[in-house]
Structure 1
């Protein structure tokens, strides 16, 4: 099995939506008969016109001068309380502190229509052969630097994976950490792409304001492999199936536009100035959300 990968991106939802799809859905790595190409048969919204993820073609971006700095509040402090890590059968989910505690972990600005509260984050990953990236950049997987040195910012999450190997498992993490450590460097948070889209799992509700950062985030090769080697899909018979390729392929952009922030690359040039590698192993999608507007 080839090396898998993870990558950081984030979304904002105008409301918390967590409706279950009618029927059973899965990924092709589990069973192609209930994979992404069949989701619209289970839930009609998955066949909508504003679906995610998409390919971000930087030659066709529209610059939006109103997309400036995003204000992250509370992301530079490790909040009190406990965070819970869980295997929901499709991915590994990190639920943040209680709703009252998360009131101080918010984002605003950057062209967003309000102030949003962070509630949870989760991951998607895939193999090089499976083109596991959800959002793609100029038709390629998003760039990610894979290092032989572990990224200590991921230690808490990676250490907890062994306790959530099977679907339905959950564990309280020993400590919380600063969410800012999972984001690009502070100086690069103003370089991003924005478009209107959907959840990337059923019911595929088209209620998402997507923000995709340009800057790649390093992760250790062994840390990446821990997601693949430790986690399992729900058992379908006597054999456990490793949780791999849990991603949805890019969807048609149709009439939508993808906008570039003031600091983003919009001409097809390298988002990392030629200093990062376009590697097959990628950290694919850590969804910082869903988020909900604070009053």
Structure 2
């Protein structure tokens, strides 16, 4: 966790405060590379879209076909088509819902992303580097737990989005049902009424083959609150229909002197962050060679053993093979700063808004129940508001740091103060503020996603779990880890480069220590430990 000097107070206020009215675009000074200035989650963990690369795919035989209900609307039902300034968006009635997910998700709206007339490649998700002409998103919110879209948008289980990839090909009569009204929404904030039609016809014929993963909104504020389902089969629209979409709309208001065309409104793909992509289909090329995944029961057992400190049993049973190793997860050339990770992760591990099952209990009673994880939801807005509230009060430089620490990590121990003081002596950049937020939420999101079989268990999360053991073991662990990492640093001279991110979360890049000779375990945190049963 990075902390700030007093002179960065104003910057922190701007960064952590949710500014719904802030201007953003896809290119230029307010473009997607700068979104995290006003919306820090846009630079944080579990972001979307992603590229469905073959090595990320895992077949899951338990994935059920998507079941849509009440998608065939009567022409008497009026829908609202509007120009949001970033896309065209159509409202959907609350009687529409999908039921094949852990909760009932009620439809709210659908919208589109597309390329340009010159470059008809504008889908947000990609399949093995292939980008389609456009993409449709049908957005639903968790109506079992939240009363409306606004209440659900910042919760980790709040949203479910159906993604449809669109290619140029045959004419699509279903799309013509709203494209015929597009001239009524040429400019920003314009609206027009559209008669209801069969929304199901906008989806592919097969709803049983799809990609599934945990991700985020693809536009600010980029909350990582979306369960994504992107269908394997694409749909087609004609070249004329695509050109209508790509050339008829403007991001500017009708009264603006310089009209700004609306096209190329797609976000670039984001890092995998240890996530895997579950797929409901087994046949076909491009799937990972091992079309299986570790069962939820086995994953729960692994986490329980980590929580209880049964590292010897973990090794004896061979379960360590299911955890990320330095050689597998942190490839050569990736990097330095594991000593920074060592000093910072204890603070991260105290952020417990999502998983109270990780709080200090007796070892015998420590469990991670999926029901608990389902009920205890990380609220991203409240995290930002707690920080902002602290900043509104007069404070000294020291109080600022303590306020930030206490807001993000309510149970942060006093031993972190020396690390905080050390951080204050160094300048901090805006990107480090974003990294701080990423580091705060990544272990929680990764653990929840891991137990749902949609992520690998990342090293930062393992450390997050291990630091919940009793104080004596916590200190012994840190001592042994430090020793192992220092030995690895001495024996490895090739790994010195730094990169902005890793494949397993938003923590600082780390050094890959070489495995000490004559030891059979590839995990740095397990190597030097001599745990007794």
* CA distance 1:96–1:136, change in 2 (3 Å): same
* CA distance 1:75–1:251, change in 2 (3 Å): same
- Aligned to 1:134, which of 107, 124, 140? 124
Shift of 1:168: 1.0
CA distance in 2 between counterparts of 1:55 and 1:117 reads 27
Shift of 1:227: 1.2
How do 1:36-47 residues align onto structure 2 when only pairs under 5 Å count? Answer: 36-47=32-43
TM-score, normalized by length of structure 1?
Answer: 0.74
- Aligned to 1:239, which of 246, 253, 258? 258
How do 1:149-164 residues align onto structure 2 when only pairs under 5 Å count? Answer: 149-164=170-185
Partner residue in 1 for 2:506:
none
CA distance in 1 between counterparts of 2:219 and 2:115 reads 15
CA distance in 2 between counterparts of 1:79 and 1:207 reads 33
Per-residue deviation, residues 43-80 of structure 1 (Å, max 9, x unmatched): 11111110000011134311112112121111244374
Partner residue in 2 for 1:251:
270
Q: Is the 2:86–2:265 contact (alpha carbons within 8 Å) kept by the matching residues of 1?
A: yes
Partner residue in 1 for 2:168:
146
How do 1:23-42 residues align onto structure 2 when only pairs under 5 Å count? Answer: 23-28=22-27, 32-42=28-38
CA distance in 2 between counterparts of 1:232 and 1:264 reads 42
Determine which structure has the larger strand proportion and give its number: 1
- Look at both structures and tell me which one has the larger radius of gyration over its CA atoms: 2
Q: Which gives a bigger RCO, structure 1 or 2 (Cα 8 Å, sep 6+)?
A: 1
Per-residue deviation, residues 230-275 of structure 1 (Å, max 9, x unmatched): 11011596221210101110011111111111x3556417xxxxxx
Partner residue in 2 for 1:199:
217
1:213 lines up with 2:212 in the alignment: no
Q: Is the 2:246–2:263 contact (alpha carbons within 8 Å) kept by the matching residues of 1?
A: yes
CA distance in 2 between counterparts of 1:144 and 1:121 reads 14
- Aligned to 1:123, which of 112, 117, 138? 112
Shift of 1:86: 0.3
Shift of 1:166: 0.5
Root mean square deviation of aligned Cα: 2.1
Shift of 1:33: 0.9
Q: Is the 1:61–1:266 contact (alpha carbons within 8 Å) kept by the matching residues of 2?
A: no
CA distance in 1 between counterparts of 2:268 and 2:82 reads 24
Q: Is the 1:193–1:264 contact (alpha carbons within 8 Å) kept by the matching residues of 2?
A: no
Structure 1 unaligned runs (5+)?
1-18, 270-295
Per-residue deviation, residues 262-289 of structure 1 (Å, max 9, x unmatched): x3556417xxxxxxxxxxxxxxxxxxxx
2:217 is paired with a residue of what secondary structure?
coil
* CA distance 1:155–1:201, change in 2 (3 Å): same
CA distance in 2 between counterparts of 1:264 and 1:63 reads 6
User: Which has the larger displacement, 202-211 or 239-248?
Assistant: 239-248
How do 1:1-295 residues align onto structure 2 when only pairs under 5 Å count? Answer: 21=20, 23-28=22-27, 32-78=28-74, 80-97=76-93, 102-103=94-95, 105-109=96-100, 112-127=101-116, 129=119, 131-142=121-132, 144-147=166-169, 149-173=170-194, 175-185=195-205, 188-235=206-253, 238-261=257-280, 263=281, 267-268=285-286
1:38 is paired with a residue of what secondary structure?
helix
Q: Is the 1:78–1:177 contact (alpha carbons within 8 Å) kept by the matching residues of 2?
A: yes
CA distance in 1 between counterparts of 2:283 and 2:83 reads 36
CA distance in 1 between counterparts of 2:230 and 2:184 reads 30
Q: Is the 1:191–1:264 contact (alpha carbons within 8 Å) kept by the matching residues of 2?
A: no
Q: Is the 1:78–1:179 contact (alpha carbons within 8 Å) kept by the matching residues of 2?
A: no
* CA distance 1:167–1:116, change in 2 (3 Å): same
